[in-house]
Structure 1
Amino acid sequence: MQETYKHYQLLITLEEIEPAIWRRLHVPANISFHRLHKIIQAAFDWQDYHLYSFEFSDFLIIEPGGDFSFHEVEKAPKKVKVEQVMEQYEECVYEYDFGDGWLHRITLEETFELPVKEVVCTGGERSRPPEDVGGPGGYAYFLSVIRSPEDEDYENMLAWAEKDTNGRKFDPEYFYREKVNRKLKRV
């Protein structure tokens, strides 16, 4: 009999942005929250140079050792496996970049078995905002400028956003699942 591995189907939606920016991922259940962080970074094409946390109703998963405490009960992301808590809670909030405050709602949609341990993006919509754009409010302003070629900041904003697009013009509607899956294979 072939061995199988428990996987989760997770829906990850960036909060406070309309229309929604989301990814649906299949991930092995026995990974650490640190690895889940790396997977989310790849799936959304974030650049992974800010702090992060996973918040549940009664505890926080965050790298230890900061100068400040966010929550009474904190756990280290490299020490906690996703399967240890996700089925019980079914939902959490992943925050990336405490300055911009990008909140991602993670919802456990399904549990299933696969014969291989793999991470796959099965769907999604829209490009994530540029790094350091200033959170949801800054992103709304950014979008208003790049949608108005007559705006005096139009060219500067588009040029600034190219740091996140490898020189391609920023398109808020861009999503290419195969590109995301190539990135996920390297995580």
Structure 2
Amino acid sequence: MPAPRPEVGSRKEGMTGRPDNLQDQFSREALSPSYLQAAYDFWCEARGSDALAPVEALDPTRLPLACLPYLGVVEVEPDPLRFRSRLTGTRVVEALGVDHTGCYLDEIPGMAPQIARIEWGVRERRPYLAESAVTFAPHDFRRYRTLTLSFGGEAGDVRRLLFVFAFLPPPGEQRA
């Protein structure tokens, strides 16, 4: 008998309010490091004048090379709303100390704040930046910034999310 799906506290909060540490108003120039800008440019070009880039555009062979090690691709399952990790870049796995590829995010302890932001992004169909501590992996001493970009189907629903991570130095350390 499979284990019951854990209750995720973000469902109620995520569906009614704006999650913490989410920034949806940003300029391209504010995206740092430069591979975040490259991913954003790719997404903007792929979507054209539409709200979402088409899911067909989410092809790792077409993404900017510099962002590949830092990305995560998550599949959106609509009913019930769940998120499954489909691809995790090598630098993300190294920084986190675990590979979540193939996992449902609601089965990973410590993911409630991230799921609340993801639910907001799916509902609002908008890109966003978030900066937070890693709460869902062995290397929980790390901090990260992530750019989240939505890819959709013909019906305008979000089907995939592209996360591009930048891992931050510990407080007091200079950035290289």
| Structure with the higher fraction of residues in helix conformation | 2
Q: Do both proteins adopt the same fold according to a TM-score greater than 0.5, normalized to the shorter chain?
A: no
Q: Select the structure of larger CA radius of gyration.
A: 1
Normalised by the length of structure 2, the TM-score is 0.27
